[in-house]
Amino acid sequence: MTSNPIKAITVALSLVIVSLPFNSEADTVSSGSACHAITPAQAKNMEWRAQGMVNTDPTNDWWVNCPFTRTIGYSEQIVSLRVFNDANQDIPMSCNFREMYRGRQVRGTQKDVTVPAGDSAVLQWTMTPNYEDSVINAACRLPEGLQIEAAITRDGQSGGSPIGGTEDAVACITAPDDAYYGTPTVNMRDGSVLNNYNGRDWFRNDSVVMFRTRSGSWYGIVNEQDYLRLDVSVVPDNCFAADPGDSVLSTEEGAEGKRIYISSGYFVVNSSCGIDVSSTLGYYTPPFVRSADREDYIVDYGTGEDCLIRSFVES
């Protein structure tokens, strides 16, 4: 490997949670003309009309970015784009919805829809923010004939920062509140309780990244070394979000195997690896005796799948 992408993770010892009550008056709708082309060169192919943003290029789909207005806090957010099709045929459209914070994508998901001819359709993402003042936007591939008419935000359930239960995985960092030597249960500092099904020994200084996949399964990365399935009997209401992992921008098959692209380069993994676009990645390295035995893995927080990193190429 030309670079080691494994991230250092520190345990949070305290956390102040700020939350806002549910307020239906916080729901907002803004014109699709608030969207913009991702580059000035592409902007010449766009028109900002009264009914929204339109791509006027008959030969190319162009990428646009649409911001959403939301309340500050950890309330569940339901963000959506309403798209109108003024063509005489059905047109597919795809958007990557993203939560951004301090220059990085915290999480994201891809949404697809086919907009019927002469009608409208909605692309929607329901999520709970990792950060109270993060930004939500959507990058969309806009074909000719479609008009982004409206960007809509609705407040859902209120609460603290999430530990799971939405359609997207959330990675939380915690540690045992004491040493546990093969005990049936383990109490964590964030209030969660684990059924210690394999009789594992746990220590107060263990750094544990817990996450719940989109299917509802729980996993943990302990001390950046051990990756294991967790049996969570008590789930806390809040969590301290782990360092946001790298987001998968694209994948492709190469001669050496599957390439998984992130912002700093690409991993090469086996072709059977199921990690795909919009996945958020964690990392772990099992203990090794000799440097020649070292093996680094990436983990998809959304599905729990882990894949051996064969190499990493910096961009």
Q: Is 10 exposed, middle or buried (0-12, 13-18, 19+ CB in 10 A)?
A: exposed
Find out whether 158 and 73 touch, Cβ atoms under 8 Å: yes
Closest CA to 201 of 227, 180, 232: 180
Enumerate residues 6+ apart whose C-beta is below 8 A from 237. 159, 160, 163, 191
What parts of the chain have a pLDDT lower than 50? 1-4, 6-25, 158-167
Contact by Cβ (8 Å): 189, 206: no
- What pLDDT does 2 receive? 39
Q: Which residues pair with 155 in a beta bridge?
A: 77
pLDDT of residue 97: 92
**Both structure tokens of 221:** 């990365």
Structure tokens at 294: 């070292």
- pTM here is 0.52
- DSSP 3-state assignment of 159? coil
Rounded-to-integer distance, Cα 35 and Cα 42, Å? 13
Buried b (16+ CB within 10 A) or exposed e, 130-149: bbbebbbbbbbbbbbbbbbb
Residue showing tokens 């990244």: 209
Q: Which two tokens stand for residue 48?
A: 């900002």
List pLDDT tens digits, range 55-88: 777 888 888 889 999 888 877 888 999 999 888 8
- Residues composing the chain: 315
pLDDT digits (tens, 9 = 90+) for 225-275: 999 999 988 876 567 777 767 889 999 998 999 999 998 999 999 999 999
* Cβ-Cβ contacts under 8 Å for 178 (sequence gap 6 or more): 187, 204
- Residue-level pLDDT at 233: 83
Other Cβ atoms within 10 Å of 1 Cβ, number: 14
Task: State both tokens at 306.
Answer: 């882990």
Question: What is the C-alpha separation between 34 and 48, in angstroms, rounded?
Answer: 9
Between CA 35 and CA 146 the distance in angstroms is 13
Nearest to 145 by CA among 177, 172, 167, 119: 119
d(CA 221, CA 211): 9
270 three-class SS: coil
